[in-house]
């Protein structure tokens, strides 16, 4: 990747500005529609019955009394979902075993966490649905729960999943029943020699708790399984296409039959990638005679049955020479996966010591099931626990050898060609340059005065996931652009993407109207997550802008048969109007007032566009057909 | 189709208009505002008084509408986010939230705006400390609060100038 120099930055007109976001007015007036705001004709309201036990076998479920309650239209249990094989699929920011994902949605023969869905009801009102839940009889055989990773790994610990065997160092599969789903190891150099060379060794153990993502908007889903077999789902999600893929896999349907309409999303932080309610709403809609069904969690359900990030136990042992060089490091990390395998321990292993150049290194990671909800992505999944443990030990080592924390990092920091903890070599990362810049900064050098002042240093590694994005755009006769994208906008990406298209086209971002659309209306998009959207979807929109420009110039050339090539300019900078084209430009009003149509019998407002410039008289005719191009890009991850 | 039990008729003034609605005694004001009066700008984040996303002003008092029963609205005057400004304008707070980028996902925003409006109604020149204290009943997971506080202070300044 090329590095953007300061000089290039100065040429940007739109990037770097602070426009008012396109969806802003809807969001400050309450008009924006989030998933829970949707209403449909004939809508039924759903509610989920959840296990009050963290670990139990289900002997029997009897829903007959609930079904007999007037107003109840359908009851669904695990038996209503297709039974899926043990296949692992990449979904969202991680991968998932479909059988486990399905039994996590609606329990099969066992419940594995407090809040595990056991049945779901659809009724004509939410109150009736709640009453119906109380009428469903479930006979549980209680089993001892395992609530932390240390206990779960002990011999003789209660076993959650009878069929689980440890995947050990790649392909070897254990033979014993276990709660340890996987053991991964990264290793290089000679650990014993490295520690022998050390003048000082520090070893510490860290425990981190289960933490929930804590978005303000609870999960929601509304589904209509239509009589023609087509399914429409309205939901607040980080990725509409990912919801579509998950539904297709879980319901054994072709993706094409499912349309997911992303509503506004009230925060996700990784927690709104996995589906929880969408398949239940779809099944209830089918069973209730093709009526739309809406499910919204309450806060208690969100906290007990969605997310969280893994709790973990991490041991870090490091050796240094007297002058501060790291000679060896050994890390042992065990992450709670929740009820089903799939904790982000692998990502934690990538993160844990990657900022440092360490010749003799061993990292062991364990993915362990416990009786809690299945862990979900959460802001650099698995990385924060790992960095916390490693950095605490690094701090202590620096202090013990009497080095300033930055000097310690300059001595041991990774640079181009050094290998990350998990193996791949860094390209140019600018880490040491950053450390030097901090050394020279006033923020680091100013003396600390007054009470409660301190200064801390920590380093971390994280990658940009890249991923796949599709966008399309239409240029309208007024010179403005409709931009269609599929990356759900969780905090302003409509605008950051529109700005990149505007910059490429040389128009104002207010002349780009961005829309986040349903899965039928745009090509495939990966989730909004993994720090990828502004970069990945931005890359797609940049390529789209280049194509648009090329095509527009070609179209203008052809009928006019100009002999000299034409250039394309930024608005208001056109030096020589005889050779330059421009799209219209508008400015944002400081104070918003809804625009009104001009009343009859008054002079027309002068057009905002500059398309009527005199030198290509028939240009309007050429442009009256909207032009539309689509581009998709698989962006490259920054680090390999 | 009505599936309600023991319906009660309630009359209230909502965003300046006389409104009558039917509700069950167990329904909250939040339920009725969102489901019956289609004021879905009022959000539900927790349903238990913790997050402030459901804030409305009732007879001049800032309340969590999830903790008010709909029948308690009888004869009251209620302002929701939808009633902060005339339909073709923004309230200075709304404008200020946009300019200061005081929202990311935006789901907490209606509650913050209503709470801030109530603050400025009571205290047109709040200090930063007073703004933070007043808004302590509203949770925002995305922004880190700082931009919200600045937006409120700036709106107070601008309203003062008018
Ligand atoms: S929904 Fe009322 S305070 Fe959270
Ligand atoms: S902007 Fe997302 S919770 Fe406040």
Tokens of residue A123, six digits: 């009724």
- pLDDT-derived band at A93, boundaries 50, 70, 90: low
| pLDDT above 90 coverage of chain A, percent | 79
Residue A557 has pLDDT above 70, yes or no: no
Q: Residue A153's pLDDT is what?
A: 98
- Mean pLDDT within A452-464: 92
Q: Residue A591's pLDDT is what?
A: 59
| Fold exhibited by the domain B92-161 | DNA polymerase; domain 1 (1.10.150)
Asked whether B47 lines ligand 1 (CB < 6 A), one says yes
Residue predicted with more confidence, A101 or A608 = A101
State the span(s) of chain B assigned CATH 1.10.150.120: 92-161
Contact present, A421 and A342 (Cβ < 8 Å): no
Q: Residues A492-505: pLDDT tens digits?
A: 999 999 999 999 99
CB neighbour list of residue A122: distance below 8 Å, 6 or more residues apart: A44, A45, A46, A72, A73, A74, A75, A129, A284, A285, A287, A288, A291, A293
- pLDDT-derived band at A276, boundaries 50, 70, 90: very high
A27 C-alpha to ligand 1 centroid (Å): 18
Q: Residue A601's pLDDT is what?
A: 60
Round to whole Å and give the CA distance between A567 and A576: 10
Buried b or exposed e, range A350-388, using 16+ CB within 10 angstroms: bbbbbbbbbbbbbbbbbbbbbbbbbbbbbbbbbbbbbbb
Among all ligands shown, which has an atom nearest to the Cα of B107?
Answer: 2
Provide the angle, in degrees to the nearest 10, between the axes of the packed helices A278-287 and A240-251. Answer: 50
Task: Please report the residues numbered 6 through 35 in chain B whose beta carbons come closer than 8 angstroms to any beta carbon of chain A.
Answer: 24, 26, 34
Residue nearest to atom 4 of ligand 2 (CA): B140
Residue predicted with more confidence, B3 or A412 = A412
Q: Residue A5's pLDDT is what?
A: 47
- Asked if the C-beta of A37 comes within 8 angstroms of chain B's C-beta atoms, the answer is yes
Residue A617 has pLDDT above 70, yes or no: no
- Mean pLDDT within A300-316: 97
Please judge whether B38 and A490 are an interchain contact, meaning their C-beta atoms are less than 8 angstroms apart. no
- Asked if the C-beta of B89 comes within 8 angstroms of chain A's C-beta atoms, the answer is yes
Q: Residue A255's pLDDT is what?
A: 97
Residue nearest to atom 3 of ligand 2 (CA): B140
Q: Residue B158's pLDDT is what?
A: 95
Among all ligands shown, which has an atom nearest to the Cα of B109?
Answer: 2
Residue B147 has pLDDT above 50, yes or no: yes
State the span(s) of chain B assigned CATH 3.10.20.30: 8-83
- Asked if the C-beta of A36 comes within 8 angstroms of chain B's C-beta atoms, the answer is yes
- Mean pLDDT within A60-65: 98
Residue of chain A with shortest Cα separation from B139: A216
SS3 A401: helix
- pLDDT-derived band at A66, boundaries 50, 70, 90: very high
How far out from the chain centre does Cα A280 lie? 22
Q: Residue A588's pLDDT is what?
A: 38
Q: Residues A159-174: pLDDT tens digits?
A: 999 999 999 887 778 8
Specify the CATH class of B8-83 in words: alpha beta
Q: Residue A506's pLDDT is what?
A: 95
Closest CA to B138 of B157, B151, B123, B125: B151
Q: What is the DSSP letter of A238?
A: S
Lowest average pLDDT, out of A91-100, A234-243, A500-509, B54-63, goes to A91-100
Q: Residue A241's pLDDT is what?
A: 97
B105 C-alpha to ligand 2 centroid (Å): 5
- Mean pLDDT within A224-249: 97
Q: What residues of chain B lie within 8 A of the CB of A125, using their CB?
A: 3-4
Q: Residue A596's pLDDT is what?
A: 74
- Asked if the C-beta of A361 comes within 8 angstroms of chain B's C-beta atoms, the answer is no
Q: Residue A554's pLDDT is what?
A: 87
- Mean pLDDT within A91-114: 88
Residue predicted with more confidence, A572 or A431 = A431
- pLDDT-derived band at A464, boundaries 50, 70, 90: confident
Q: Residues A597-611: pLDDT tens digits?
A: 766 665 443 333 222
Tokens of residue A387, six digits: 């960095």
Q: Residue A574's pLDDT is what?
A: 36
- Mean pLDDT within B139-144: 97
Round to whole Å and give the CA distance between A395 and A404: 9
Most informative mutation of B28, B33, B42, B47 for ligand 1 (most atoms within 8 A of CB): B47
What is the average pLDDT score of chain A? 88
Domains of chain A by start residue, with CATH: 3-32+466-591+609-633 (3.30.365.10), 41-145+214-304 (3.90.1170.50), 149-212+308-445 (3.30.365.10)
Q: What residues of chain B lie within 8 A of the CB of A71, using their CB?
A: 3
pTM: 0.90
Residue B96 has pLDDT above 50, yes or no: yes
Q: Residue A585's pLDDT is what?
A: 41
Q: Residue A324's pLDDT is what?
A: 98
Q: Which of B53, B95, B97 sits opposite A591 (nearest CB)?
A: B95
- Mean pLDDT within A456-479: 93
Tokens of residue A148, six digits: 């932390």
- Is the ipTM value over 0.90, yes or no? yes
- Asked if the C-beta of A460 comes within 8 angstroms of chain B's C-beta atoms, the answer is no
Q: Residue A559's pLDDT is what?
A: 56
Residue A99 has pLDDT above 50, yes or no: yes
Residue A240 has pLDDT above 50, yes or no: yes
Q: Residue A171's pLDDT is what?
A: 75
Q: Residue A599's pLDDT is what?
A: 66
């Amino acid at each position: 990747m090329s590095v953007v120099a300061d000089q290039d930055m100065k040429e940007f007109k739109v990037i770097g500005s602070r426009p008012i976001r396109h969806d802003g007015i809807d969001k400050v007036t309450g008009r924006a529609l989030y998933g829970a705001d949707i209403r449909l004709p004939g809508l039924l309201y759903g509610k989920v019955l959840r296990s009050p036990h963290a670990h139990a076998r289900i002997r029997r479920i009897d829903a007959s009394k609930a079904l007999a309650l007037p107003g109840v239209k359908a009851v669904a249990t695990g038996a209503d979902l297709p039974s899926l094989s043990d296949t692992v699929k990449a979904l969202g920011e991680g991968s998932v075993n479909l059988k486990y994902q399905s039994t996590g949605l609606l329990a099969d023969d066992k419940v594995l966490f407090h809040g595990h869905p056991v049945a779901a009801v659809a009724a004509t009102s939410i109150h009736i649905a709640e009453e119906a839940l109380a009428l469903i009889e479930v006979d549980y055989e209680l089993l001892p729960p395992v609530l932390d990773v240390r206990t779960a790994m002990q011999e003789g610990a209660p076993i959650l999943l009878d069929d689980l065997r440890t995947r050990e160092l790649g392909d070897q599969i254990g033979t014993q029943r276990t709660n340890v789903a996987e053991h991964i190891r990264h290793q290089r150099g000679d650990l014993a020699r490295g520690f022998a060379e050390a003048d000082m060794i520090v070893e510490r153990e860290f425990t981190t708790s289960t933490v929930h993502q804590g978005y303000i908007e609870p999960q929601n889903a509304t589904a209509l399984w239509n009589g023609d077999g087509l399914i429409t789902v309205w939901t607040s999600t980080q990725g509409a296409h990912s919801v579509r893929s998950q539904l297709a896999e879980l319901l054994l349907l072709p993706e094409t039959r499912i349309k997911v309409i992303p509503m506004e999303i009230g925060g996700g932080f990784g927690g709104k990638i996995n589906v929880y309610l969408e398949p239940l709403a779809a099944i209830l809609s089918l069973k209730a005679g093709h009526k739309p069904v809406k499910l919204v969690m309450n806060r208690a359900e969100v906290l007990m049955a969605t997310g969280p990030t893994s709790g973990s136990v991490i041991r870090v042992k490091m050796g240094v020479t007297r002058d501060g060089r790291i000679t060896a490091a050994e890390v042992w990390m065990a992450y709670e996966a929740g009820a089903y395998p799939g904790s982000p321990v692998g990502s934690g292993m990538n993160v844990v010591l990657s900022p440092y150049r360490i010749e003799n290194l061993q990292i062991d990671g364990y993915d362990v099931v416990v009786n809690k909800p299945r862990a979900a992505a959460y802001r650099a999944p698995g990385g924060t626990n790992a960095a916390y443990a490693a950095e605490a030990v690094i701090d202590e080592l620096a202090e013990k050898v009497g080095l300033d924390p930055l000097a310690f990092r300059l001595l041991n920091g990774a640079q181009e060609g050094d290998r990350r903890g998990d193996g791949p070599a860094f390209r140019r990362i600018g880490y040491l340059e950053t450390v030097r810049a901090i050394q020279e900064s006033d923020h680091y050098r100013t003396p600390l005065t007054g009470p409660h002042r301190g200064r801390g240093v920590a380093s971390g590694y994280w990658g940009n996931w890249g991923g796949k994005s599709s966008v399309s755009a239409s240029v309208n006769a007024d010179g403005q652009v409709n931009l269609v994208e599929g990356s759900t906008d969780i905090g302003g990406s409509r605008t950051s993407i529109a700005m990149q298209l505007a910059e490429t086209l040389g128009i104002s971002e207010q002349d780009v109207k961005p829309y986040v659309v349903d899965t039928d209306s745009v090509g495939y998009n990966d989730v909004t997550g993994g720090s990828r959207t502004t970069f990945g979807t931005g890359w797609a929109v940049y390529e789209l802008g280049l194509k648009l420009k090329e095509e527009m110039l070609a179209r203008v050339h052809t009928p006019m048969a100009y002999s000299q090539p034409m250039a394309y300019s930024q608005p208001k900078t056109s030096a020589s109007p005889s050779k330059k084209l421009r799209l219209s430009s508008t400015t944002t009003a400081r104070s918003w007032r809804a625009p009104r149509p001009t009343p009859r019998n008054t002079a027309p407002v002068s057009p905002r566009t500059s398309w009527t410039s005199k030198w290509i008289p028939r240009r309007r005719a050429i442009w009256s057909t909207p032009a539309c191009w689509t581009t998709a890009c698989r962006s490259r991850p920054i680090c390999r | 189709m009505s599936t309600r039990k023991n319906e009660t008729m309630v009359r209230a003034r909502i965003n300046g208009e006389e409104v009558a609605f039917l509700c069950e005694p167990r329904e909250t004001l939040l339920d009725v505002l969102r489901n019956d009066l289609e004021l879905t700008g009022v959000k539900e984040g927790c349903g238990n008084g913790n997050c402030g996303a459901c804030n409305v002003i009732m007879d001049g008092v800032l309340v969590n509408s999830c903790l008010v029963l709909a029948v308690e609205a009888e004869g009251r005057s209620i302002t929701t986010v939808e009633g902060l400004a005339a339909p073709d304008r923004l309230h200075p707070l709304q404008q200020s939230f946009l300019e200061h980028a005081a929202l990311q996902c935006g789901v907490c925003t209606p509650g913050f705006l209503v709470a801030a409006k109530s603050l400025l109604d009571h205290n047109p020149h709040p200090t930063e400390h007073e703004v933070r204290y007043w808004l302590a009943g509203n949770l925002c997971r995305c922004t880190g609060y700082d931009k919200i506080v600045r937006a409120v202070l700036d709106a107070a300044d601008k309203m003062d100038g008018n």
